[in-house]
């Protein structure tokens, strides 16, 4: 197994470098110019030329590529054109914020989704199964952007100003205005309150999908012989479902974990915009709009690495849950 | 569902807080300071000086002092407080009125008044201006602000290596060290040729600390942590923290000169970045922010309906236009461009897409400006006149398809480009398409991604557009040289590419006239020349709207800026 992981990692290096190279040329050859975005009338062409020199954009593209590659291999991703800060600092500021949000969303989505899917499979064709299906389909077909706005409308604006509810949730940001003055415990609670609406908007849509997968996977398993055997030897329903069926039904779900793991890092742009969450998605999309080449490059390089790693993690997890799978 | 999400979220937040590992505070407020060596050096100095200032300035007893003020807006303060490299509107405003100081500012009528400079003298021949600085202004780390800071700032922003964006400010100034003379610690003289509105740059460009930035090579200034990680200003508010894409926090400066009003009323001022306007409106209505900058016109009614917030409305510095590429055969003739403007009912567009919050434009002088003349001639909506003008120019519908052609059979058809995600500009292009069809012109609206569009229109070799919907923000010192002067035809902003000797002559004169009364008449002439030439269809001057909570008192906003008297805003003690 250890050898297998090492081999996979070694194979990933040319893959990631190749992706980075392609993105470098795509980004640098795309129409648009970062200096044009920073200037206004009154700016002479000398100033534009000086900005290009300061940014290193005056060099031909192959020289820029070699320089970028050399710097990157030593861990230097350069400075953001827009924020004038080291790119690594910029991304490292945004990364934890995205991780918190998407980890919460994934935990909620997989937790709730697996439970609901299992319930539906066990009680197939019951009223509970059908009504859950309708509700889940409702959320599944909803764009999370719109869901987010509806949540803000109901659980923030109306809850506070119209219905006068005792509980309402803040519509934006990660912390309250007086966060700096709170005690450690209050700060944690404050962060949790700010997480509620974005987590819900992200996870509701995911939950629905995961529950559908789980229901299907579970239904397949409960029809198999070993489950029938378990029933036949008189094991209680609880043990049959949770010990025998569930473990086997979870294997396909792991594929989903592998698919969603990169999403942990990339963040979800729309949700980050709506809730003013200072995460990776916003950073990268803003960088693309501003043609902030160093940030785009570092960000995409990071994502490419994450996709490779997440796929590897999913493959390793297969072996962990399914003793039949062995890697040499 | 809700409760489940909530309890899970609490769990996640526990993990999150462990991850983030903020710097622990010992009582009072906690903050995270950038690990950059420059910041590690200056922030303790600022903290020490502020602690000393608080001790020597007893807490004011007036009930107006105190509280936290929160302003929400869609954008970051790009380049932060680094006045030498920033071109962002909100960032410049923070340099002028919040964290740093300019030599002078403007009164409501647009006349210069003292700020960091307590007085100035203009040489009789208008070839130099001598500023005398206040002696009671200190950088937030305790150093005194003096003439060397002014000289340093001047030399830096006029140095081409800095790439100070608005280089046109210095067109008629003597650049570099030769242009500035330190006469004594608090007196500095700057040399120039006589020209119009020469004091205006000193209203816009804030003075930077020489003792902190003097050794930084000009080309490296943009990347210096001073801008966004640990600015040290001398203005009414002291930098506290900046979380990128989230918030900037400032504290009241207890040592701000009494002669300028002393420390600001609010204890803390927070600028929050909330990119989605629906969220911003919600945060204003739920009292999580006190000021929502620049709501959309269609959100104005919601603000007016709520008793806890009010809507401020005032003429502002931007205008929306459709720029014509006169290099295109259909658009070469000024009569065609005039007919397009006459065939467009611009008032109906102001009413429809701005809900009336705006004024039809006929030139580049905005309504707030001293040179604006409300009675200046304009081009009225006149579809019949437009048709007659097109006939006169040789464009007739020869084949009966509803679109006019010229003698060579070229149809009067062209595209109007606008950028993605801008609803107002899309509406402008589409309404023009409908209205111009009635006079026999076929318009095709076309959407292009912003950075790509800028390249298409601004690259002199490309100019890949027929018409384009754009907007400009003008400075108090109006300067259209880059837009319309034929000497600048190879420069990025000569979109129309028209050459008009009359416009050239007026622009050259206007750049040099020192006296405003004399200039006013020239500006009116200039507007007439623009109407004749129509390099743009000037569309409208939108009114600036701002949503302000009624708990904030003393707010004055106008074309000078939203933050102009922020040190006098206070929070109603009853609703704190």
Q: What is the pLDDT of residue B59?
A: 82
Residue B295 sits at the vertex; the CA angle it makes with B289 and B297, to the nearest 5 degrees, is 150
Facing residue for A54 by CB, picked from B68, B219, B244: B219
Beta-strand runs (E) in B337-452: 358-360, 413-419, 442-448
Test A282 with B245 for CB contact under 8 angstroms.
yes
Q: What is the pLDDT of residue B438?
A: 95
Q: What is the pLDDT of residue B51?
A: 94
Whether B573 and B271 have beta carbons less than 8 Å apart is answered as no
How many Cβ atoms sit within 10 Å of the Cβ of residue B391? 15
Average pLDDT along chain A? 87
Q: Does B40 touch chain A (CB under 8 A)?
A: no
Residues on chain B touching A110 (C-beta within 8 angstroms): none
* B452/chain A closest Cα distance in angstroms: 4
- 């489950």: which residue's tokens? A227
Test B223 with A84 for CB contact under 8 angstroms.
yes
Cα end-to-end distance, chain A, whole Å = 6
Q: What is the pLDDT of residue B16?
A: 41
Whether A102 and A264 have beta carbons less than 8 Å apart is answered as yes
Whether B228 and B80 have beta carbons less than 8 Å apart is answered as yes
Residue pLDDT, tens place only, A5-43: 888 888 888 888 888 889 889 888 888 888 877 767 767
Q: What does the block give as tokens for B134?
A: 């206040």
Q: Would you give the DSSP letter of residue B81?
A: T
Test B87 with A278 for CB contact under 8 angstroms.
no
Say if residue A303's pLDDT is above 50.
yes
Q: What is the pLDDT of residue B395?
A: 96
B271 by Cβ neighbours in 10 Å (0-12 / 13-18 / 19+) ranks as buried
How far is the CA of B525 from the CAs of A132, B203, B495, B512, B530, in angstroms? Answer: 73, 27, 22, 16, 9
Q: What is the ipTM of this complex?
A: 0.85
Q: What does the block give as tokens for B489?
A: 């035809």
Nearest Cα to B149, choosing from B163, B160, B133, B165?
B133
Q: What is the pLDDT of residue B19?
A: 37
How many Cβ atoms sit within 10 Å of the Cβ of residue A155? 20
Best of B7, B16, B171 to substitute, by most chain A Cβ atoms within 10 angstroms, is B16
Find all residues with CB under 8 Å of B344, minimum gap 6, and list them: B381, B431, B432, B435, B436, B537
* B14/chain A closest Cα distance in angstroms: 7
Q: What does the block give as tokens for A230?
A: 């378990």
A238 by Cβ neighbours in 10 Å (0-12 / 13-18 / 19+) ranks as exposed
Side-chain-side CA neighbours of residue B498 (13 Å): 26
User: Distance (Å, rounded) from C-alpha A45 to C-alpha B31?
Assistant: 42
Name the phi and psi angles at B521, rounded to 5: -65, -40
Test A191 with B1 for CB contact under 8 angstroms.
no
Residue pLDDT, tens place only, B160-186: 989 898 888 898 999 999 999 999 999
Find all residues with CB under 8 Å of B314, minimum gap 6, and list them: B368, B543, B544, B557, B558, B559
Q: Would you give the DSSP letter of residue A218?
A: H
Best of B34, B162, B279, B464 to substitute, by most chain A Cβ atoms within 10 angstroms, is B279
How far is the CA of B335 from the CAs of B390, B433, B539, in angstroms? Answer: 7, 19, 18
Q: Which of residues 545-574 of B touch A (CB under 8 A)?
A: none
User: Distance (Å, rounded) from C-alpha B22 to C-alpha B28?
Assistant: 15
User: Distance (Å, rounded) from C-alpha A32 to C-alpha A289?
Assistant: 9
User: Distance (Å, rounded) from C-alpha B187 to C-alpha B181?
Assistant: 9
Q: Which of residues 133-162 of B touch A (CB under 8 A)?
A: 160-162
Residues on chain B touching A145 (C-beta within 8 angstroms): none
Nearest Cα to B412, choosing from B333, B320, B494?
B333
Q: Does A139 touch chain B (CB under 8 A)?
A: no
Find all residues with CB under 8 Å of B367, minimum gap 6, and list them: B315, B359, B374, B541
Q: Is the alpha carbon torsion for B401, B405, B407, B410 positive or negative?
A: negative
Mean pLDDT confidence for A227-250: 87
Q: What is the pLDDT of residue A7?
A: 86
Find the DSSP H helices in B234-353.
277-285, 300-305, 334-342, 346-353
Q: What does the block give as tokens for B362?
A: 């006929």
Find the DSSP H helices in B401-535.
423-437, 450-458, 481-484, 501-512, 516-533
Residue % of chain A over a pLDDT of 70 = 96
Q: What is the pLDDT of residue A81?
A: 85
Three-state SS annotation for B171-225: CCECCCHHHEEEEECCEEEEEECCCCCCCCHHHHCCCCCHHHHCCCCHHHHHHCC
Q: Does A195 touch chain B (CB under 8 A)?
A: yes
* B165/chain A closest Cα distance in angstroms: 6
User: Distance (Å, rounded) from C-alpha B206 to C-alpha B116?
Assistant: 10
**Helix, strand and coil in chain A, % to nearest 5:** 75, 0, 25
Nearest Cα to B387, choosing from B367, B366, B372, B402?
B402
Say if residue A114's pLDDT is above 90.
yes
Distance, C-alpha B222 to centroid of its chain: 19
Q: What is the pLDDT of residue A247?
A: 85
Q: What does the block give as tokens for B128?
A: 């130099």
The pairing of beta strand B291-293 with beta strand B68-73? parallel
Find all residues with CB under 8 Å of B479, minimum gap 6, and list them: A41, A42, B168, B511
Q: Which of residues 32-71 of A touch B (CB under 8 A)?
A: 32-34, 36-48, 50-51, 53-54
Q: Which of residues 243-302 of B touch A (CB under 8 A)?
A: 243-247, 249, 270, 272-276, 278-280, 282-283, 285-286, 288
Q: What is the pLDDT of residue B14?
A: 41
Most confident of A170-174, A290-294, A300-304, B465-469: B465-469
Mean pLDDT confidence for A121-146: 90
More confident position, A56 or A119: A119
Q: Does A283 touch chain B (CB under 8 A)?
A: yes
Q: What is the pLDDT of residue B456?
A: 93
How far is the CA of B379 from the CAs of B207, B395, B440, B536, in angstroms? Answer: 43, 20, 19, 12
Q: Does B168 touch chain A (CB under 8 A)?
A: yes
Write out chain B's pLDDT in tens, 576 residues: 333 333 444 444 444 443 333 333 334 677 888 888 999 999 999 999 999 999 999 888 899 999 999 999 999 998 899 999 988 899 999 999 999 999 999 999 899 999 999 999 999 999 999 999 999 999 999 999 999 999 999 999 999 989 898 888 898 999 999 999 999 999 999 999 999 999 999 999 999 999 999 999 998 998 899 999 999 999 999 999 999 899 999 999 999 999 999 999 999 999 999 999 999 999 999 999 999 999 999 999 999 999 999 999 999 999 999 999 999 999 999 999 999 999 999 999 999 999 999 999 999 999 999 999 888 888 999 999 999 999 999 999 999 999 999 999 999 999 999 999 899 999 999 999 999 999 999 999 999 998 899 999 998 999 999 999 999 988 899 999 999 999 999 988 999 999 999 999 999 999 999 999 999 999 999 999 999 999 999 999 999 999 999 999 999 999 999 999 999 999 999 888
User: Distance (Å, rounded) from C-alpha A202 to C-alpha A206?
Assistant: 7
* Number of residues that this document lists for chain A: 328
């Amino acid at each position: 197994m250890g050898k297998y992981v090492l081999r996979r990692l070694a194979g990933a290096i040319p893959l990631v470098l190749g992706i980075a190279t392609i993105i470098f040329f795509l980004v640098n050859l795309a129409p648009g110019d970062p200096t044009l975005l920073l200037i206004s009338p009154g700016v002479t062409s000398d100033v534009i030329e000086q900005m290009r020199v300061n940014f290193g954009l005056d060099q031909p593209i192959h020289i820029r590529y070699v320089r970028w590659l050399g710097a990157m291999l030593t861990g230097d991703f350069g400075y953001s054109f827009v924020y004038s800060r080291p790119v690594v600092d910029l991304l490292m500021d945004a990364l934890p914020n995205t991780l918190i949000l998407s980890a919460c969303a994934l935990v909620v989505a997989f937790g709730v989704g697996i439970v609901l899917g299992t319930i539906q499979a066990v009680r197939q064709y019951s009223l509970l199964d059908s009504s859950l299906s309708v509700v889940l389909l409702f959320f599944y077909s909803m764009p999370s952007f719109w869901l987010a706005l509806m949540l803000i409308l109901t659980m923030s604006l109306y809850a506070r100003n119209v219905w006068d509810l005792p509980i309402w949730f803040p519509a934006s940001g990660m912390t309250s205005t007086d966060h700096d003055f709170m005690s450690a415990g209050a700060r944690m609670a404050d962060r949790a309150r700010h997480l509620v609406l974005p987590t819900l908007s992200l996870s509701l849509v995911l939950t629905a999908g995961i529950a559908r997968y789980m229901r299907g996977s579970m239904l397949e398993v409960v029809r198999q012989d070993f489950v029938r055997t378990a029933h036949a030897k008189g094991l209680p329903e609880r043990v049959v479902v949770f010990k025998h069926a569930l473990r086997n039904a979870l294997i396909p779900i792991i594929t989903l974990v592998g698919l969603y793991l990169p999403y942990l890092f990339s963040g979800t742009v729309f949700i980050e915009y709506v809730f003013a969450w200072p995460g990776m998605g916003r950073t990268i999309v803003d960088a693309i709009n501003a043609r902030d080449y160093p940030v785009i490059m570092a960000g995409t390089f990071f994502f490419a690495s994450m996709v490779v790693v997440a796929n590897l993690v999913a493959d390793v997890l297969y072996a962990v849950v399914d003793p039949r799978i062995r890697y040499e | 569902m809700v409760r489940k999400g909530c309890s899970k979220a609490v769990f996640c937040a526990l993990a999150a807080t462990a991850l983030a590992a903020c710097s622990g505070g010992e009582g009072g407020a906690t903050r995270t300071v950038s690990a950059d060596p420059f910041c590690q050096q200056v922030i303790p100095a600022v903290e020490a000086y502020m602690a000393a200032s608080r001790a020597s300035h007893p807490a004011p007893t007036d009930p107006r002092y105190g509280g936290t003020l929160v302003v929400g807006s869609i954008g970051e303060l790009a380049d932060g407080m680094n006045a030498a490299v920033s071109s962002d509107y909100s960032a410049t405003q923070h340099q002028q009125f919040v964290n740093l100081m300019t030599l002078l500012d403007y009164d409501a009528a647009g006349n210069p008044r003292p700020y960091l400079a307590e007085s100035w003298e203009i040489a009789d021949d208008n070839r130099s201006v001598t500023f005398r600085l206040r002696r009671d202004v200190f950088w937030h780390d305790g150093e005194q602000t003096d003439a060397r800071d002014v000289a340093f700032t001047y030399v830096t922003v006029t140095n081409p290596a800095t790439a100070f964006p608005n280089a046109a400010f210095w067109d008629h100034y003597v650049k570099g060290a030769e242009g500035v003379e330190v006469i004594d610690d608090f007196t500095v003289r700057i040399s120039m040729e006589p020209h119009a509105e020469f004091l205006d740059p000193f209203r816009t460009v804030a003075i930077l600390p020489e003792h902190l930035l003097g050794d930084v090579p000009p080309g490296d200034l943009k990347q210096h942590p001073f801008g966004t990680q640990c600015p040290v200003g001398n203005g009414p508010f002291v930098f506290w923290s900046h979380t990128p894409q989230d918030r900037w926090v400032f504290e009241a400066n207890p040592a701000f000169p009494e002669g300028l009003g002393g420390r600001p009323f609010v204890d803390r001022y927070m600028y929050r970045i909330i990119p989605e306007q629906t969220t911003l409106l919600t945060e204003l209505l739920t009292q999580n922010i006190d000021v929502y900058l620049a709501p959309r016109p269609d959100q104005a009614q919601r603000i007016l309906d709520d008793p806890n917030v009010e809507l401020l409305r005032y003429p502002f510095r931007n205008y929306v236009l459709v720029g014509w590429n006169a290099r295109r055969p259909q658009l070469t003739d000024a009569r065609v461009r005039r007919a397009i403007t006459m065939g467009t009912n611009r008032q109906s567009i102001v009413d429809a897409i701005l809900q009336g919050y705006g004024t039809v434009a006929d030139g580049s002088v905005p309504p707030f400006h001293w040179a604006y003349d409300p009675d200046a001639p304009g081009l009225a909506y006149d579809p019949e006149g437009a048709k007659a003008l097109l006939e006169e120019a040789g464009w007739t519908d020869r084949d009966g398809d509803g679109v006019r052609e010229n003698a060579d059979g070229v149809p009067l058809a062209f595209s109007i480009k606008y950028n993605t995600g801008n609803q107002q500009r899309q509406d402008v292009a589409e309404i023009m398409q409908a209205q111009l069809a009635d006079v026999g012109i076929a318009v095709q609206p076309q959407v292009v991604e912003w950075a790509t569009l800028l390249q298409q229109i601004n690259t002199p070799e490309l100019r890949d557009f027929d018409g384009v919907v754009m907007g400009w923000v003008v400075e108090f010192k109006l300067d259209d040289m880059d837009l319309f002067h034929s000497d600048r035809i190879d420069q990025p902003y000569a979109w129309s590419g028209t050459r008009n000797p009359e416009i050239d002559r007026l622009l050259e004169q206007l750049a040099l006239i020192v006296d405003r009364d004399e200039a006013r008449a020239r500006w009116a002439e200039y507007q007439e020349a623009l109407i004749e030439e129509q390099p743009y269809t000037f569309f409208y001057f939108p009114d600036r709207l701002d949503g302000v909570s009624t708990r904030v008192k003393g707010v004055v906003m106008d074309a000078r800026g939203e933050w102009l008297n922020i040190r006098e805003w206070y929070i109603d003690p009853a609703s704190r």
